[in-house]
Amino acid sequence: MKDDMTGVRHPFATAPDEGTMLEIAPGVLWARLPLPMALDHVNVYALDDGDGWTVFDTGLDTRRNRGIWVKLLAGPLRGKRVRRVIASHHHPDHIGLAGWFQADDTVLMTSRTAWLFARMLVLDDQERPLPETLDFWRRAGMDAEILARRAAERPFNFCDVVAPMPLGFQRLVEGQVIRAGGRDWDVRLGQGHAPDQVTLWSRDCALVLGADQLLPGISPNLGVYATEPDADPVAEWLESCARLQNFAREDHLVLPGHKLPFTGLPLRLQQKIENHHSALRRLHAHLVDPQPASACFGPLFKREITDGTYGLALVEAVAHLNHLVATGRARRFDGPGGVWLWQAL
């Protein structure tokens, strides 16, 4: 199957049904777990190590997902235990059940930054948004009605969908080679969507475990938050895409964190770069007059932003605005009420 919008080819037209796995290469099994959002799934993979399994990403810690894993462990993965879990990055849909596996003496492997972020956030239980978060939203220009509603609600907490994480993990670093599924894999870390995101590139065949760094058809969220309000994840994302172009081959079968496995990685990486440059050009043109981040959704995303995606749109708008400031194409200053305004230079 070919995606006419991107030129990316999908050798597998459909995903495996819930509670089943599809062998997409010898010793490499693919399953899907549900997510309660517009992007309604995450892909997970199991690599056959002979005497056990290595699982790449886990899904959220929910009763439904635990039940799916129990079914998988009693079905296509039966007879051998999961000895290792590799978490590509710290986001809950990828590391959510790592601690659940670790309770059965499974080793967690991930980057140090991913482990530190996940471990910190799972211990941070908030009944209401912190003052710093509310101030960040206000200064970014969040709609007053949405801001008031969110201030009175329990915010998203990692501990609601990530199993408790015990101490102890094995660190994955750039340039490391690991053995899994009967293959040697080069560890390459991506940036922008999440710090030090793990991707694995097989030395023995044209397979890449791409997580959210390498997705077909969509781009992952590049967001700025109250934890680091002046961050420039767009620069990190563009640098990562350019660096990974040095390794990408047309015949690579990329196993992504969402959507369908695909080939055509060199083209897809170039598209990812150009998509953000195009968005930055539209945004720069929009800033002929000073604008808050919340007034930048139209030129940046070219689609309607609903209540369910408002928060992600806001933090991604700030990210692109920060990049224009960092590259000398815009300035930021305080407007009425201390709301940030950005204007093109």
DSSP 180: E
pLDDT computed for residue 246 by the predictor: 97
- Say yes or no to pLDDT of 245 above 60: yes
- Tens-digit pLDDT profile for residues 156-171: 999 999 999 999 999 9
Question: Cα–Cα distance between 216 and 218 in angstroms, integer?
Answer: 6
Q: How far apart are CA 77 and CA 62, in angstroms?
A: 20
The band of 5, judged by pLDDT with boundaries at 50, 70 and 90, is: very low
| HSE of 118, CA atoms in CB hemisphere, 13 A | 35
pLDDT score of 7 more than 80: no
For residues 4-10, give the mean pLDDT. 71
Confidence of residue 3 (pLDDT cuts 50, 70, 90): low
Q: Mean pLDDT in the chain?
A: 95
Among 112-116, 301-305, 332-336, the minimum mean pLDDT is found in: 301-305
Q: Which domains does the chain have, with CATH numbers?
A: 2-281 (3.60.15.10)
Sign of CA dihedral 193, 198, 201, 207: negative
Q: For 18-32, write each residue's pLDDT tens digit.
A: 999 999 999 999 999
Backbone φ, ψ for residue 28 (5° rounding): -125, 115
pLDDT per residue as tens digits for the range 56-70 = 999 999 999 999 999
Contact indicator for 10, 260 with CB cutoff of 8 Å: yes
| Residue 342 to residue 345: CA distance in whole angstroms | 10
Q: Classify the C-alpha dihedral 85-87-90-91 as positive or negative.
A: negative
Q: Reply yes or no on whether the pLDDT at 6 is more than 90.
A: no
4 band by pLDDT with thresholds 50, 70 and 90: very low
CA dihedral over 341, 298, 326, 120, signed as positive or negative: positive
**β-sheet bridge partners, residue 32:** 43
Q: Is the dihedral angle over the CA atoms 64, 66, 68, 70 positive or is it negative? A: negative
Residue 308: the pLDDT is 83
Instruction: Report the SS3 class of residue 16.
Output: coil
% of residues, the chain, pLDDT over 90: 94
Indicate the pLDDT class of residue 304, thresholds 50, 70 and 90. confident
Provide the token pair at 307.
């209540």
